[in-house]
A and B are shown apart, each in its own frame.
Chain A
Amino acid sequence: MSTSTELPFPGLRSGVELVPTNDQPQTGKEYTSDQEVRWCPGCGDYAVLKAVQGFLPELGLRRENIVFVSGIGCSSRFPYYLDTYGMHSIHGRAPSIATGIATAREDLSVWVVTGDGDALSIGGNHLIHALRRNVNMTILLFNNRIYGLTKGQYSPTSEAGKITKSTPMGSLDHPFNPVSLALGAEASFVARTIDSDRKHLTSVLSAAAAHRGTSFVEIYQNCPIFNDGAFDAIKNPDTKADAIIPLVHGEPIVFGNGSKGLIRDSETGGVKVALVADVGEDAILVHDAHRTDPTTAFAISRLTDSGYLNQSPIGIFRQVERPTYDDGARGQISSAQQAAPGERQDRLAALIGGGDTWTIV
């Protein structure tokens, strides 16, 4: 086995736009590992995997500089199916592991794949702190609103009253709205998309990857075994026009084939749905994802019907610039190093030999 004391990575700057690029065209196949994919037939995860495998070559990054980290759960098998560097870690802890990777290495594109149980139950603490710190990584939260791998218990995004194996008389838990939660943690990039809408999914992933800081993407993902139909309202061609509130930066927020829109609610200070015919086009809120203040984004996120998803805003809620933790940490290291020139060995001798000393001859 050959050995080397050199770090195996060149001294390139970090971050998605600073990750070494590849000038050769890449294909999705190159990103496909030799491992057999073992999700249930019809699982929404397949669609997301396909989309990611198709999308990663477009980033044009060097494949060896991409790392996928996951926790535990069905979606967390994701890294095994991608031929990048990867770690399938422990339940809920992927954001913390990714934080270490992203902070230690400026030249890596770091991705976290997690689920509603992994990210919002056992790993809730790590999720909110990663978002707060704004570590340079993209978190993909596959939300199927059920525990799949443990075979069908309710999750923190299941609707209240849900009958499952562990809640025969109905769940008593009030569900999280993941987007509201992320905005509450002051995430700098917050989006929601759907497994079955590959085009939208890809466009959101592109924006997430381009964003410097923690990008949080909730992906509605169907579990055909334990929670089939959880997203029927927003997937059914007959109902989705009324269920999906599309968010496009710089455009009025309208849906229901143009009949409905969002307006300011003077009573609550939030936003509400109105008929365009009633209020007029000028009253319709124009989506501004870049607004520094998260209040409006949060108000929009509250329009999610967390019960049956008869209504849900989809798109990029918020995308703002904010200093990232890892850039800051590396910046401190580099300014400290500039202030202390010389060999590490000599400085170590000076450090341990400092303080009040005396010599015995």
Chain B
Amino acid sequence: MSGKQVKQLDRVIIRFAGDSGDGMQLTGDRFTSESAVFGNDLMTLPNFPAEIRAPQGTLPGVSSFQVHFADHDILTAGDAPDVLVAMNPAALKANLGDLPKGAAIIVDTHDFTKRNLDKAGYDVNPLDLLGDANDPLGEFQVTPVDLTGMTVEAVKEFGLSRKDAARAKNMFALGLLSWMYGRPTDPTISFLQKRFAKVADIRDANITAFKAGWNFGETTEAFVVQYEIKPAPMAPGTYRNITGNLALAYGLVAGGVQSGLPVFLGSYPITPASDILHELSKHKAFGVTTLQAEDEIAGIGAAIGASFAGSLGVTTTSGPGIALKSEAIGLAVMTELPLVVVDVQRGGPSTGLPTKTEQADLLQAMYGRNGEAPVPIVAPQSPGDCFDAALEACRIAITYRTPVMLLSDGYLANGSEPWRIPELVDLPAIEPGFATAEDLVEDPKDPEKKVFQPYARDPETLARPWAPPGVAGLEHRIGGIEKADITGNISYDPANHDFMVRTRQAKVDRIADSLPPLEVDDPSGEAKVLVIGWGSTYGPIGAGVRRVRKAGFNVASVHLRHLNPFPKDLGEILRRYDKVLCPEMNLGQLSLLLRGKYLVDAIGYNQVNGMPIKAAALAEAIAGLVGEAEGVEIDLTATAQEASQ
């Protein structure tokens, strides 16, 4: 340690922001890994434009990565950054509005040229006004540093072009921030060694820039304080940092291992789901086949074919892809084949906001098909939870012979958190239970003959037999036309159709028998308000509820993993509370389902701006409702500052 002052903090939110080409995602990712290895709890929020390279230096081209790390258990990536690292004028301007008073800004002065200031829409260089009476950054603690210039200087021995040398500025910034928050440097150095193993000069320049950034912090007088955020207490176990898409891909691999089935992914690239395709394509050694299909429909078609042939068929996409796959999902409902359909939701409708998050595909997942076509729905609540949710989707698909919708979203997909690596013995075994020749029964029309009944049902699950080709005697035909009960033959009989529609619904309803009771978080047992959510709102809801409790009030919460069927005890739980608040990143889709099914006056808290719900604003809404229910006024401002998220 230098002779600098060390200040203890319990948590910090840092946002790295720069041009799309500045490597901000990598920088944030590295800082996150360092923090994870250090032992902080953390959550991240990457935020980038849909364009690969929007015009350089412009506001639409700004890419950012926010990381919230703490010495205690946290639930969100944070509402507002304490520290902004801005690599150019556009990054400063685009992010300024999110900063609270007093936030620290470290700004790379190098790109504050007339041209770049113009592009960002600055008439005057705000850095020239620092300390003036009309300083537009007067509310913040601004430290201007020529990060680029110092980087170029630090790496000049490697003889790179000026452009290449300047590209290492993100590592200089990372080094500086790593010093400031006492992050371990070894993981990043070994990462850079591996990443640029084949280009020695680039590798050395990045490592040198990273170290130079650290040393700059250590020696300069511009920074007098170093901060310490102690490791967070966590349950015993081995941890890693993981994004939702990676955890989801691992969950699908685990689904194959736990069921003993080959996994077959048919997919078409789409943001923000493509990473799952990329990841699964690396795992051929697990018997995972990945087909990059010609379109969304072919992706699911191939997956259905593979399921018919005895694989675990999977298709991954986002909302627009689900729209295209709807007819094929209906076919999987009718043919009653196992299929996992992953929807990593993004802002909609149509192309919408490809890189932003939303939860507005719930009703599409629930009802977006012709006819009565019930599909079970499972949703993960955090990045690491995507693993368990994917495995659960596999379990339901295989056990009940049905397509299952797995609803992740852009925030979970790209966000990350420390994940306790599960012990394999704790994972559920999944039984494919293929039909065999022993399933042949006496032909009702001819006692001499044995027949296979592809639409006979398991009395408990109502699942039909899964009979992949290759077994003599089990030859059968399935398809999209209504099936006759038991025989599976084409049937246009009115009574049969009515029966089969009800049976398919009953089969999905039966899944509820296999679900554990809901865990209601109601420590006092005296709450009058219940906050209910699903998917990635878990973090903001948990953080909002904590704030209200911290202010001394009772509030309960419950989070749904299963959206169809709902757990059996949900209705009773909803009725236990005077008021039910349902925060969602849509206009009230879960609220509609709850109101429809349970006749409960679920009150919506709805936000559809492409970003996660902010805990502070949600806490206000919860407090308002609790106040109404308790007949008191609740003012959260007193406790807001110290409330952790």
Contacts and interface: CB of A to CB of B under 8 A. Distances in A.
A93 B431 contact: no
A339 B283 CA distance: 12
B516 interface: no
Given A353-B421, A356-B187, A100 B474 contact: no
Contacts of A33: 477
Contacts of B327: 90-91
Contacts of A95: 298
Contacts of B133: none
Interface string A51-86: 000000000001111110110100000011001111
Contacts, number: 251
A64 B476 CA distance: 9
Contacts of B438: 2
Nearest to A92: B297
Secondary structure type dominating chain A contacts: mixed
Nearest to B487: A34
Interface in B352-381: none
B118 interface: no
Interface string B272-300: 00000000000111111101011101110
B469 A90 contact: no
Nearest to B187: A356
Given A104-B262, A359-B238, A8 B310 contact: yes
Interface string B247-285: 000100110010010101010000000000000000111
Interface string A331-354: 011001101100011011101111
A3 interface: yes
Contact of B328 (A7, A90, A108, A360): A90
B489 interface: yes
A345 B429 CA distance: 12
A349 B306 CA distance: 26
Interface stretch (B32-40, B59-67, B108-116, B156-164): B32-40
B197 interface: no
Given A63-B475, A64-B470, A104 B289 contact: yes
Contacts of A79: 477, 479
Contacts of B295: 125
Contact of B475 (A85, A99, A340): A85
A360 B235 contact: yes
A107 interface: yes
B318 interface: no
B376 to A, nearest CB: 21
Given A103-B289, A103-B306, A357 B240 contact: yes
Contacts of B288: 333
**Highest count of chain A CB atoms <10 Å: which of B310, B479, B490:** B479
Interface in A1-54: 1-10, 33, 35
A276 interface: no
A104 B307 CA distance: 9
Contacts of B456: 1
A83 B289 CA distance: 29
A309 interface: no
A90 B291 contact: no
B107 interface: no
Contact of B422 (A62, A125, A352): A352
B239 A359 contact: yes
Contact of B468 (A7, A102, A340, A357): A7
Most buried by B among A2, A79, A87, A99: A87
Interface in B287-343: 287-289, 291, 293-295, 297-299, 301-311, 313, 327-328, 330-331, 335
B515 to A, nearest CB: 22
B424 interface: yes
A183 B258 CA distance: 44
A1 B264 contact: no
B331 A86 contact: no
Nearest to B239: A358
Contacts of A354: 240
A352 B480 contact: no
A169 interface: no
Name, among A10, A329, A340, A348, the residue most crowded by chain B CB atoms within 10 Å (CB to CB): A348
A360 B285 contact: no
A86 to B, nearest CB: 4
Given A104-B262, A352-B254, A97 B308 contact: yes
B436 interface: yes
Contact of B471 (A8, A80, A352, A355): A8
A8 B298 contact: no
B298 A99 contact: yes
B54 interface: no
A127 B147 CA distance: 55
A290 interface: no
Report the interface size class on chain B: 35 or more
Contacts of A65: 469-470
A64 B473 contact: yes
A347 B237 contact: no
A8 B434 contact: yes
Interface residues of A, number: 72
A105 interface: yes
Given A8-B471, A90-B327, A97-B301, A349 B424 contact: yes
Contacts of B490: 35, 80
Contacts of B301: 89, 93, 96-97, 99-100, 126
Contacts of A339: 285
B433 interface: yes
Contact of B250 (A1, A62, A83, A351): A351
A88 interface: yes
Contact of A357 (B238, B311, B475): B238
Nearest to A70: B479
A337 B283 CA distance: 9
B200 interface: no
B477 A100 contact: no
Contact of A83 (B297, B433, B439, B475): B475
A64 B480 CA distance: 22
B308 A88 contact: no
A88 B431 contact: no
B238 A333 contact: no
A41 B286 CA distance: 52
A333 B284 contact: yes
B470 A87 contact: no
B310 A93 contact: no
Given A87-B478, A89-B480, A361-B236, A100 B302 contact: yes
Contact of B434 (A7, A91, A108, A359): A7
Interface string B601-645: 000000000000000000000000000000000000000000000
Contact of B304 (A70, A100, A360): A100
A314 interface: no
Interface in B434-483: 434-436, 438-439, 456, 458, 465, 467-481
Contacts of B37: 356, 358
Contacts of A129: 293-294, 298
Contacts of A351: 250, 253, 283, 286
B20 interface: no
Given A88-B481, A100-B313, A356 B305 contact: no
B234 interface: yes
A2 B456 CA distance: 13
Nearest to A38: B490
Contact of A125 (B235, B285, B294, B424): B294
Contacts of A96: 266, 293-294, 297-299, 301-302, 305
10 nearest A-B pairs in the assembled complex, by CB-CB distance: A100-B305, A88-B479, A96-B301, A9-B470, A100-B302, A3-B433, A336-B284, A340-B285, A96-B298, A97-B305
11 contacts: A1-B433, A9-B469, A67-B308, A69-B305, A79-B477, A89-B331, A89-B479, A91-B327, A101-B469, A103-B302, A348-B253
Given A104-B262, A345-B424, 6 more contacts: A7-B468, A84-B475, A101-B469, A358-B39, A360-B234, A360-B235
